[in-house]
Amino acid sequence: KGNCSLENEEYRECASCEATSDNQTPMCNKMCQPARCMCKAGFYRNNKGICVAEKECGSIVSQFPLRTLCVSVVQCYARQLIDCEPTCKNKDQIVLCLAICKPAACQCKVGYYRADDGDCVPEEECSALFQPTSQADCGPNMTFKQCSSPCQSKCGEYEPKPCVKRCDPPKCECNAGFYFNSVGDCVSKADCELDVPVTCANVDCKEGFMCIMQNGKPACIRPCELLTIR
């Protein structure tokens, strides 16, 4: 009989697919797999390979509806952002992320975002955690202001309005003659007129991909193929 070196594991002669903190009820066939160490009943494999109790996964247990079985304990993620998980840094960007099969792992719940320290935080906490620190953090037609204004120029709001003079936290502001559009870019007034809400209705995905809305923004993803279990 084999010995398991990690806590909350047990050696099983007839192994099977393993429950994880992301997928606690995996679809498994009844065939015995090679003997190996697996998590004990009531424990789940997290993204560090450790068997933990459900409560230890906390707020980062995935609840995404776009999840389907690929093979064994591998999950299929269809995510919008660069690393296929919402983060504070890129939550407002429209970045395409393919649906690819990756090892099962804990991910932030819908409505939560991964902060730089690895915690999952609600959206309102992101702005306090991620602030631009230099011009390098700003996009085109923007200027970094150490002492920013509470009044920002936006598309459709061209007339001067009363504004309280105070020093707000550092942030990027649009240069003169440019305005924030609906996705946070600074564009000219002419481009503002072209600014329409971005939805799947006006997004063309390349062949083999489909458009879905994630966190209010469109994303082109490639649906995963379901594993046929015989």
Contacts of 56 (CB under 8 A, 6+ apart): 46
Is there a domain that residue 2 lies in?
no
Residue 175 has what pLDDT? Answer: 94
Is there a domain that residue 227 lies in?
no
Residue 196 has what pLDDT? Answer: 61
Q: How many domains does the chain have?
A: 2
Residue 27 backbone phi and psi in degrees, to 5: -80, 120
pTM > 0.85: yes or no: no
Is the domain of 142 the same as that of 77?
A: no
Residue 73 has what pLDDT? Answer: 34
Is the domain of 144 the same as that of 165?
A: yes
Is the domain of 27 the same as that of 108?
A: yes
Residue 126 has what pLDDT? Answer: 73
CA distance 204 to 115: 31
Is the domain of 56 the same as that of 170?
A: no
List, for residues 16-48, the tens digit of each pLDDT value: 777 666 666 565 656 677 888 888 888 888 777
Q: Strand, coil or helix: what is 65?
A: coil
Residue 178 has what pLDDT? Answer: 93
Is the domain of 174 the same as that of 116?
A: no
CB 199 within 8 A of CB 213: yes
- Using alpha carbons, list the distances in angstroms from residue 147 to 27, 167, 168, 170, 171: 55, 5, 6, 6, 8
Beta bridge partners of 39: 9
* Residue 137, domain CATH: 2.10.25.10
β-bridge pairing 142-145 and 112-114: unpaired
Residue 56 has what pLDDT? Answer: 72
Contacts of 191 (CB under 8 A, 6+ apart): 181
User: CA Rg, the chain, in Å?
Assistant: 23
Is the domain of 50 the same as that of 110?
A: yes
Residue 72 has what pLDDT? Answer: 30
Is the domain of 206 the same as that of 188?
A: no
Range of the domain at 185: 132-192
Residue ranges of the chain with per-residue pLDDT less than 50: 58-83, 95-96, 98-101, 224-230
Buried b (16+ CB within 10 A) or exposed e, 54-83: eeebeebbbebeebbbbebbbbbbbbbbee
Is the domain of 73 the same as that of 136?
A: no
Is the domain of 186 the same as that of 80?
A: no
Is the domain of 155 the same as that of 204?
A: no
Residue 142 has what pLDDT? Answer: 93
Residue 79 has what pLDDT? Answer: 38
Residue 12 has what pLDDT? Answer: 86
Is the domain of 73 the same as that of 173?
A: no
